Chains A and B, each alone.
Chain A
């Protein structure tokens, strides 16, 4: 792979040093490969090579039912699987016209924000490790362990959980989940404060992040950046506010923009604040969670009660039909986006009226954000590539799909 790129950037005269970084380099967060043309310690040109983790999710989705695809979305952004699940479900429910009960909508905010915490804690840990602050990595993963324990309490799985279903949740979470969640909120705040204290005024950290990888707000919009990469440049754009889904229009939270300068430090600062806002949202949800069912009574997607299943022929047929052929979705198309930890995660779904999508396309935030890498590192030092990759916060599972 990539012989064409190497020949192209080496040029006719073959001057300068071509440096290969990845796909097994630890600070490329997976299997990203970057080919760099160097002038001494400075970068003349950077060419990212992706595709090493391509699994053809969009192709596979065409022969799976809408519920089965949920399991594939977990494997896209595997650091925050809950967000990918939520994006898919919002799209399916919009297209099929399924009403989700109020309680499930509020609970989805908890799951979405736990996913954001899980994603951002991996980010702060690995980003700091890349730059040289090694102890943060251990603290971040200790805090993340608490998030994973909460997911374990919620559904039994830790990383790839698919806890939600089209129409709501499979089951009402058990009491220990709520108790443990309420106990954990203050713990999360203490941990976030600790990262803040260790890094935000740390001279080494400031030296490696301030004025590195700068992009202006207008350029960020033109390049299609989203999420923290866009907000770090001073554009307060958050899909939870602009096109609210789940119950985000009923909770209060701020949209932080860091310092607004569009450098690595700004993106760092706003993600730290975003984690605090996540805790704030979860606290509001635990206080105002409305009673009621967590699964829709829409017979197309709702699982029949188990006693009925054994006594009622119709319920049995419905059950088998739903799990073998999937629930039919009316003809049409939809594009639904959510604010994932990395940015705008959009699903474009085309239905031909059957139980499987005719076409499913993912607009993955890391993929679009990564295309700004050559722009952000041009003319900078080699060591800055590492801090810029960390600040874009990429997940290769989502880029390559």
Chain B
């Protein structure tokens, strides 16, 4: 099996725009990496379309992480990296939530999201709804803090 070359971000953007339409609130193709932003309430629907659309087929869950932007109204930015394995496409999916809000778990769409989402919950405190087993993973089970938040000091707790 020969590997297909990486599909250009612009090509994916056209198709994503066609199937998702207004659900995408922002998009850019900097460094040949398509980044789209969606509202948290649409996340599960968007993920299902990305996985099931015959011309997109994002069947591989690469990674999830979160970035903390204190001082903004929606202070947690959750970032997903998805791939399409046979077709060699890649996309970055972003969404924002405010403190105390939760987000739908992607483990419902890609089972591989299980541990990566537990890590985000453990270190950043973002809660995932309908996750199969949302527990701390790296820190101790009775640990009280979420160390990757910006208000967590590097030393001298």
- Give the docked Cα–Cα distance between A267 and B107 (Å): 26
Judge whether A361 and B3 touch: CB under 8 Å. no
Judge whether A221 and B88 touch: CB under 8 Å. no
- Give the docked Cα–Cα distance between A243 and B89 (Å): 10
Mask of B1-25 contacts with A, CB within 8 angstroms, 1/0:
1011010000000000000000000
- Tell me whether A348 is interfacial, beta carbon within 8 Å: yes
| Most chain A CB atoms below 10 A, which of B3, B61, B92 | B3
Are A4 and B135 CB-contacts (below 8 A) given A58-B148, A221-B85, A358-B67? yes
Q: What is the chain A residue whose CB lies nearest that of B69?
A: A358
- Tell me whether B140 is interfacial, beta carbon within 8 Å: yes
- Tell me whether A308 is interfacial, beta carbon within 8 Å: no
Partner of A237, one of B31, B85, B114, B154: B85
Mask of A350-365 contacts with B, CB within 8 angstroms, 1/0:
1000000011010100
Q: With a CB–CB cut-off of 8 A, which chain B residues contact A398?
A: none
- Give the docked Cα–Cα distance between A367 and B139 (Å): 15
Q: With a CB–CB cut-off of 8 A, which chain A residues contact B115?
A: 367-368, 370-371
- Tell me whether B54 is interfacial, beta carbon within 8 Å: no
Judge whether A50 and B137 touch: CB under 8 Å. yes
Tell me the dominant secondary structure on chain A's binding face.
mixed
Q: With a CB–CB cut-off of 8 A, which chain B residues contact A359?
A: 65, 67-68
Q: With a CB–CB cut-off of 8 A, which chain B residues contact A263?
A: none
Judge whether B85 and A223 touch: CB under 8 Å. no
Are A363 and B59 CB-contacts (below 8 A) given A58-B148, A59-B154, A371-B114? no
Judge whether B88 and A242 touch: CB under 8 Å. yes
Judge whether B63 and A242 touch: CB under 8 Å. no
**CB contact list, A1-52 vs B, under 8 A:** 1-4, 50-51
Partner of B112, one of A334, A350, A371: A371
- Tell me whether A222 is interfacial, beta carbon within 8 Å: yes
- Tell me whether A224 is interfacial, beta carbon within 8 Å: yes
Judge whether B33 and A2 touch: CB under 8 Å. no
- Give the docked Cα–Cα distance between A64 and B73 (Å): 28
Q: What is the chain B residue whose CB lies nearest that of A52?
A: B138
- Give the docked Cα–Cα distance between A221 and B30 (Å): 27
Q: With a CB–CB cut-off of 8 A, which chain B residues contact A242?
A: 3-4, 6, 88
**CB contact list, B71-119 vs A, under 8 A:** 79, 81, 85, 88, 90, 92, 110-116, 119
- Tell me whether B141 is interfacial, beta carbon within 8 Å: yes
Q: What is the chain A residue whose CB lies nearest that of B139?
A: A51
- Tell me whether A300 is interfacial, beta carbon within 8 Å: no
Judge whether A348 and B63 touch: CB under 8 Å. yes
Q: What is the chain B residue whose CB lies nearest that of A244?
A: B6
Q: With a CB–CB cut-off of 8 A, which chain A residues contact B68?
A: 359
Judge whether A222 and B141 touch: CB under 8 Å. no
Judge whether A222 and B111 touch: CB under 8 Å. yes
Partner of B3, one of A236, A350, A358: A236
Question: Could you list 19 examples of A-B contacts with CB < 8 Å?
Answer: A1-B141, A4-B141, A54-B138, A56-B147, A63-B154, A224-B110, A224-B111, A225-B112, A238-B3, A243-B6, A255-B3, A332-B30, A335-B63, A337-B62, A348-B63, A363-B81, A367-B119, A368-B115, A368-B116
Interface residues of B (CB under 8 A from A): 1, 3-4, 6, 30-31, 33, 59-63, 65, 67-68, 79, 81, 85, 88, 90, 92, 110-116, 119, 123, 135, 137-141, 147-148, 152, 154
What would 17 more interface pairs be, CB under 8 Å, given A224-B112, A235-B85, A335-B62? Answer: A51-B137, A63-B154, A221-B85, A222-B59, A222-B111, A223-B111, A223-B112, A237-B3, A334-B31, A344-B62, A350-B67, A358-B67, A363-B65, A367-B116, A368-B112, A370-B115, A371-B114
Give the 9 A-B residue pairs with the shortest CB-CB distance, closest first.
Answer: A224-B112, A363-B63, A361-B65, A51-B138, A371-B115, A241-B3, A223-B112, A236-B1, A54-B138
